[in-house]
A and B are shown apart, each in its own frame.
Chain A
Amino acid sequence: MAKGSPIKKAEGPEYIRIEFDLPRRYNWSTGRYLGKVYAEAKENKKMVAPRCPKCKQLWARPPAPVCPKCKVDMGWDWVELPLTGTIFQYTYQVYPLWDPHEGERWSNPHPPAIILLDNGIYFRHCLEETDTKKLKEGMRVQAVWEEDYEKRGLGFLDILYFRTIEE
């Protein structure tokens, strides 16, 4: 059987490794579609999604110029999303992992969750409650906005998290 490589013996006592630790900087653009989400969030504290002219489905995360399923031009028909819903599912990070956009080990203390919005759209965000023992699937939640206009301008993250509510 000749399908593997020989397992090389160390030839010297020392193997050299060369390190590079230089962040690469980027200027990412939202473009027009995601830009609309940013604008509505910042100016009006509204979360919006485009509606496909054919299947009428809303494409919230992220919006796109083409409906992925119908493969037709999305057009420019925007619908406001309700910002209350129920926790469909949540998870939590136990072990901090390297965040490439921060350049450090980091774990979001707010549990990432899938929220079933009241119009039937599944929306990914995180939860305010960090004590996961207090969380249950099916709990009612509501979006909490960043109230400082100056601090808004981060699109989906202008919503800080979803807060559990009693109804």
Chain B
Amino acid sequence: MAKVTEKLEGMDVWVYHGKIDIPNTYSAGAVGSQFLIELRDNKKIMGTRCPTCNRVYVPARSVCKDCFGELSEWVEVSQKGTLLTYTVAYQSNPIQPVSTPIVYGIVQLDGADTGFVHMLGEVDPEKLKVGTKVKAVFKVKKERAASILAIKYFKPLKR
């Protein structure tokens, strides 16, 4: 095992290689839970509509950023949509769910007024363009937990 502390060369200064290890758990809340459960159980992508400005938020949220009203009306949106932006990320980190390179994208699903932040799969990064039509691919049932990762990725629609 590596030593916990290490003396710097040529000076009386020590570096401590340590960690902060406190597990954290975050509640999704009523609206968030419902959204994640629909992904898991029914492979449905749900949004919420603002009664004031009519904007449909996907993923479902409870508050409108402009009106500050509570969003109470549930709307199912299409699993297909348009790529608003994307990146091919080459730097790996221990949180990433799959190995790099990862293609991240923001997709505006048909029927939604906001973008959905997720990953893209089955893509040739060279051919990817803003405006590409994509569709959601879900994980298979036994791998599908109530989480944003119930969706495996979005893939380009075949022309």
Contact of B89 with A by CB under 8 A: no
Task: Please tell me if B157 contacts chain A, counting CB pairs below 8 Å.
Answer: no
Interface contact B25-A18, CB-CB below 8 Å: yes
B30 and A15: CB pair below 8 A?
yes
Which of B3-11, B50-58, B100-108, B116-124 lies at the binding interface? B3-11
User: Do residues B27 and A17 form an inter-chain contact, with CB atoms below 8 A?
Assistant: yes
The 8 Å CB contact of A8, one of B3, B12, B30, is: B30
Residues of B within 8 Å of A103, CB to CB, are: 19, 21-22
B interface residues, how many (CB within 8 angstroms): 33
A143 to B134, CA, bound (A): 69
A149 at interface by CB-CB < 8 Å = no
Mark the stretch among B32-40, B76-84, B125-133, B136-144 that contacts chain A. Answer: B32-40
How big is chain A's contact interface, by range? 35 or more
Partner of B30, one of A12, A17, A22: A12
- In angstroms, Cα B33 to Cα A31, docked, is 47
State in angstroms the CA–CA spacing of A8 and B33 once bound together: 14
User: Cβ of A24 < 8 Å from any Cβ of B?
Assistant: yes
Interface centre among A18, A20, A22, A103 (most CB of B within 10 A): A18
B17 to chain A, nearest CB (A): 6
Stretch at the interface among A34-42, A56-64, A81-89, A117-125: A34-42
Q: With A and B bound together, what is the CA distance between A101 and B18 in angstroms?
A: 7
A53 interface residue per 8 A CB criterion: no
Determine whether the beta carbon of A16 is less than 8 Å from that of B20.
no
A-B contact pairs, 7 of them (CB 8 A): A12-B33, A14-B33, A18-B25, A19-B23, A20-B24, A20-B26, A27-B16
Q: Which residues of A contact B (CB under 8 A)?
A: 8, 10-12, 14-32, 34-36, 38-39, 98, 100-103, 153-155
Q: Residues on B close to A: CB < 8 A?
A: 3-5, 7, 11-30, 32-34, 36-37, 94-95, 146-147
